Chains A and B, each alone.
Chain A
């Protein structure tokens, strides 16, 4: 209840500024452009594919790369959404309002997280309309599409959790944005160091990318899902602890 009050307030704050609208428009535009490119690719490949036995379908050639692209675009966007969450409240001294209200720190943190997630799910819903439009003229692999959507949701939730935590560390929204972007990018490219050999190394396992790729290919393995859930949980707990420490004299 209290969580939803805070989530609704975050969502409202997003839509009151032009930011939410700008992000929706820009992301939609860029993703549509990529969608058309992938579709064009598929149409050119189609004659060859028809001759191959067991050829990859439209889901592997259009939907999977599209979702992979969306994740990169949102890697750049999510830090902009999360940067204000706590840092701006601290800067404007409005954090006191939340801290003096009969609300626990966990409710504040989860409420803020939920607010951003609702916005991102809205964004995802708009983006999904593009692959879904393929249902009219082709045989879209719905299972693979849904796994991809789940993967994207989990990935965005992880981005948001990191962004929220970095935002609790500073009073400057821009610092929070840069910090979040840095951490996310590092986690993204972590597997570069691990992909040289055949056996996956620890670094590759920690990379946020490896698990995403598995899910995108339609392989639903619970260990990948658990990786994301743990990732989200860790950063939410860190945020709660950081805000809790705010009350100690320092």
Chain B
């Protein structure tokens, strides 16, 4: 196969993901969860899972359903699984959140909702892992290796999460209780570091090369980055389980993971710098400029982590650290690329079928970058301000930062909707004869 087809449900994943991001920011503005509540509180669990499953994982899955076939130049194993997976993931997340709210006394204490949510999420992620895994496995080279490592990490993350859910309901025995008591850092590292970060790194290699017309990163270079990342996650998961089994504490394991994580970030920085240096396209589009801001957040994350460890303040400030990882690095990159992917897929869906029969606009004609850039800048500034306010323990100022983030996100969502509506395309190019306006929430293909 030379060209991938358009993923029918990628827009649905993106729409659901953005809706969950809006919910997360609304919760933060309403002072639900950290920092108003303790990191391990049920309210924080609600917030964390809305962000990590509802927003980041759904956005990543939607992007991968389109992108993995591009990476390996093979069709998706099964397009039919995408919508059921979205339904299972959404239902599972709602059940999980209801279970957490029950733990916190905001809903009746129906703890069985947690295992039910875990089963639904396991089924949904299972469909995604098999679908994307079997597709990527057909040509496991280049960035596709990062996706495979990310999917393996997703399996570990979901397994930990399911054990926790069953343990909360009292259905996991003493082993489950022990893992619940000590294993939360391993769950977080596998999810944020393995599934989301390694996958984002792999996808970014190819997207940056494609949109800047730079040569692909040499597999020999990216192999070191991948090896360091995979080693870090393996040490966290396998070493962490041994440490829990031996009751020896996680400090030694987490120290090794931190060192390997730093090495991964440094190597990734080298690879990305190489792509920028070798690019043929000098003018950077908005998505690339905003991706650079997420790279700044990733570098700041590494620096902050080192400073917090050296000053012995990591445990006390882990909330600020995770906030910067989630909203600066991961969300910043996903938002930048989502903005571009929506425009590109909307163009293909609308104008691809009439090419050769009528003049068509460019992808860039579907977006208004100058207008959109301010929303991204507001968002990133708010994230950095929010991180500083968390470090300074200024809860009210953090709330103001959350409100600023929300303003930025609402602006970005409005831009994405305008792209889907072709609102910025001038006539007569907007809808040539034979072209159909796209549906907001799914591709018509």
Do A and B pair up? The answer is no
